Amino acid sequence: MERTTNTKILKIVTVGLMAALVYVGNYLSIPVPNGLLVSRIHLGNSMCLLAGLLFCGSTGGIASGIGGALYDLFNPAYTLSAPFTFISKFAMGFVAGKLNRRNAEGKIPVSTVIIAAVLGQIAYIILYLIKSFFTVLILGGTVEAAWIATGNNAITSSITAVISVIIAVPLYIALRAALSKTPIRPLINEQSQGKGWLNPVTVGLIAFAFVTVTVYTLNLSAQTKLETQQAEEKAALEQRIEDYENKLDYLYEQLEITPPETSAAEETE
């Protein structure tokens, strides 16, 4: 019982530590303007891969999702996308952790590590590009603009993916050997015990994914509609004011009246 409790505490500490590394890694970035969106080349994904490669799919996935979502929550430019970021980052860490498995000899070849890292990045990129495409449409952009933004994001995401794999794989190899000599050893490349892909954790996260993506989409759509409505109302008000001014000018002209001059103080008020 005590051993189980210690393992749970170690998992909580591990998730918190890796989530912090993911969070900090996101700040080491280069912003890339992309029309209605802003893409970035950053080091956050390398930490997501590292979390997945070092630990099991669920531990690495949860740490990646929490770290990425926290970065979005504390950045006004990305706050609304935090739920979707949690899902996409979780997918990256989860896939990398699930595929980084021991062979029949109980070892993990470097080729397996690289494949797991690459497929984890691909899983993330697919979700990220889908989100980018529909975000542009929801913001009022055309299909053509959505494809252009998605294509540009694909380029920056691919660059980030290559950098992430190059950083994460050597770090994993180095840290695996070092951490195997610490109390955290039981968690290194921990394998699930016969529960397969469909277990309470993954089922719950899949349900959470559908709910959060739906809420995100509805919220973003409502915000866009509100901004569009406010812009239309402002334009209509400005047009009415201009019409009234034209009518007043016409009346002044017909009645041969000189319009009163407005002082600078009155204009300021």
CATH of the domain at 6: 1.10.1760.20
Question: Does 14 have pLDDT greater than 90?
Answer: no
What average pLDDT score do residues 68-88 get?
Answer: 85
124 and 157 in a single domain? The answer is: yes
pLDDT of residue 267: 47
Q: What average pLDDT is seen over the chain?
A: 79
pLDDT digits (tens, 9 = 90+) for 84-103: 888 899 999 999 988 988 77
pLDDT at res. 215: 64
Q: Tell me what pLDDT residue 33 has.
A: 63
Strand partners, 30: 41
pLDDT value at residue 263: 56
CA 151 to chain centre: 17
- Non-local (6+) Cβ contacts of 113 within 8 A are 53, 100, 169, 172, 173
Q: Is pLDDT of 44 > 90?
A: no
Q: Are 171 and 92 found together in one domain? A: yes
Q: Is residue 268 part of a domain?
A: no
Residue 194: pLDDT over 60: no
Considering the domain boundaries, does residue 7 fall inside one?
A: yes
Give percent of the chain with pLDDT exceeding 90. 20
Q: Do 171 and 238 sit in the same domain of this protein?
A: no
List the domain range (segments joined by +) for residue 246: 197-258
* Least confidently predicted of 77-91, 118-132, 180-194: 180-194
The Cα-based distances of 192 to 203, 204, 224 in angstroms read 15, 16, 43
221-245: buried (b, 16+ CB within 10 Å) or exposed (e) per residue?
eeeeeeeeeeeeeeeeeeeeeeeee
**Segment holding 106, helix H or strand E:** none
> Domain tally for the chain?
2
Please report the pLDDT score of residue 204 as a whole number. Answer: 63
Closest to 109 measured CA to CA, from 154, 173, 166, 54: 173
